[in-house]
């Protein structure tokens, strides 16, 4: 009784006026799995997340979520409501809302106007927010407008928003960027924590971080999979060294 795969990219191709950003990309993600995706700049990692989250429509290919939901047929909100959360490469938060409100809006729950019009902040939402603020170390900044955060703080805030959504699948684009090594280590720890209950796809260029995750790695290059395997396998893979790690 093998339960169905969680996410299945099947020959996905995305091209921008001729240039193929994704080229027949296929990938499988098991439920509860955490997958690290690395690859040269411009390999198509972010584009991959774009097509999963409905930001970009693929020219070819299917993206099946869970048993039989074809994500290519859905739009962003619908996909998000399925429980697919995303952190962007460039931190994007609601600048004029306070840090806390940013998290509040991200909290899992009904998204319809009908609900939000009457919604009152429940006690456990309150508790949740406090927990999140602590996790992302922005307790002092809780009532500052997000526009006033430093770059790294925005990164953290966005991670916080992602957690708040409590999604089935987390797509995380370069969380370690702009973090100190110590923070990077903690982030890895955090992700492993999350992975206990949820599936994660994480992109990053920081090999120390990737190693710290200690999970299966997929290497993308020019829009398709170049290699797949454990960190050590990857780090010795000549192709990967050639196009990505350098010597």
Partner 1 sequence: MRLDRANIATLSCVLGGAAVLAAMNLLIPAVSPLHVPDFVIAIAGKYLCYAILALAIDLVWGYAGILTLGHAAFFALGGYAMGMYLMREIGARGVYANPTLPDFMVFIGWTHLPWYWYGFSHFWFALAMVVVVPGTLAFVFGWFAFRSRVSGVYLSIITQALTYALMLAFFRNDMGFGGNNGMTDFKDVLGFPLNRESTETGLMLVTATVLSLSFLLARAMIHSRFGKVLIAVRDAEPRTRFLGYRPESYKLVVWTVSAIIAAIGGALYVPQVGIINPSEFAPGNSIEAVIWVAVGGRGTLYGAILGAMLVNLGKTWLTSALPDIWLFAIGGLFIVVTLFLPRGITGLFTTRQPPKGSKQASAATEASMREAAR
Partner 2 sequence: MLSIEDVDLYYGASHALRGVSVTARIGEVTCILGRNGVGKTSLLRAIFGLQPIRSGHIRWENRELDRLPPYQRARAGLAMVPQGREIFPRLSVRENLETGFAMLPRPLRRLPDEIFELFPVLRGMLGRRGGDLSGGQQQQLAIARALVTRPRLLILDEPTEGIQPSIIKEIGRVIERLAARGDMAILLVEQYFEFARDLAASYFVMERGEIVLSGRRGDMDETAVRAHLTV
Ligand X SMILES: Nc1ncnc2c1ncn2[C@@H]1O[C@H](COP(=O)(O)OP(=O)(O)OP(=O)(O)O)[C@@H](O)[C@H]1O
Residues binding ligand X: what is the number (CB under 6 A)?
A: 19
- 111 touches partner 1 (CB under 8 A): yes
What is the Cα–Cα distance from 214 to 34, expressed in whole angstroms? 9
- 166 Cβ contact list (under 8 Å, min separation 6): 107, 108
By CB under 8 A, which span of 2-10, 11-19, 73-81, 188-196 interacts with partner 1?
A: 73-81
Report the candidate in 234, 208, 233, 238 with the shortest Cα–Cα distance to residue 219.
Answer: 234
How is 216-233 classified by DSSP, letter by letter? -EEEEETTEEEEEE-HHH
Q: Compose the 98-137 pattern: x for residues touching ligand X by CB under 6 A, - for all others.
A: ----------------------------------------
- 86 touches partner 1 (CB under 8 A): yes
Please identify which residue in 7, 29, 44, 46 interacts with Mg ion, judged by CB under 5 A. Answer: 46
Please identify which residue in 3, 59, 75, 232 interacts with partner 1, judged by CB under 8 A. Answer: 75
Q: Which is nearer to partner 2, 136 or 164 (CB)?
A: 136
Taking CB under 8 A as the criterion, which residues in 93-152 touch partner 2? 137, 148-152
DSSP annotation of 3 reads: P
What is the Cα–Cα distance from 129 to 103, expressed in whole angstroms? 7
| Residue 44 φ/ψ region, left for φ over 0, alpha for ψ in the -120 to 50 degree band, beta for the rest | left
Q: Could you tell me the smallest distance in angstroms from the CB atom of residue 151 to Mg ion?
A: 5
Please identify which residue in 89, 98, 135, 235 interacts with Mg ion, judged by CB under 5 A. Answer: 89
Do residues 136 and 159 lie in contact, with contact meaning Cβ atoms separated by under 8 Å?
Answer: yes
Q: Which does 241 bind (CB under 5 to 8 A by kind): ligand X, Mg ion, partner 1, none?
A: none
Q: Could you tell me the smallest distance in angstroms from the CB atom of residue 20 to ligand X?
A: 8
């Amino acid at each position: 009784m093998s339960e169905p795969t969680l996410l299945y990219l099947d020959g996905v191709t995305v091209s921008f006026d001729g240039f193929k950003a994704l080229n027949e990309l296929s990938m499988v993600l098991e439920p509860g799995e955490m997958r690290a995706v690395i690859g040269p700049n411009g390999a198509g990692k972010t584009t991959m997340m774009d097509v999963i989250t409905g930001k970009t429509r693929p020219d070819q290919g299917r993206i099946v979520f869970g048993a039989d939901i074809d994500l290519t047929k859905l739009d962003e909100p619908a996909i998000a409501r399925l429980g697919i959360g995303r952190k962007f490469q460039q931190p994007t938060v609601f600048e004029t809302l306070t840090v806390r409100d940013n998290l509040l809006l991200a909290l899992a729950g009904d998204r319809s106007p009908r609900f939000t019009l009457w919604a009152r902040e429940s006690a456990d939402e309150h508790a949740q927010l406090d927990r999140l603020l602590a996790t992302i170390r922005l307790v002092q900044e809780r009532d500052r407008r997000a526009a006033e955060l430093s770059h790294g703080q925005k990164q953290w805030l966005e991670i916080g928003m992602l957690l708040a959504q409590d999604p089935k699948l987390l797509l995380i684009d370069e969380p370690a960027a702009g973090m100190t090594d110590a923070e990077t280590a903690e982030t890895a720890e955090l992700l492993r924590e999350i992975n206990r209950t949820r599936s994660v796809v994480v992109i990053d260029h920081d090999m120390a971080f990737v190693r710290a995750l200690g999970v299966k790695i997929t290497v993308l290059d020019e829009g398709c999979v170049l290699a797949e395997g454990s960190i050590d396998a990857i780090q010795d893979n000549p192709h990967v060294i050639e196009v990505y790690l350098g010597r």
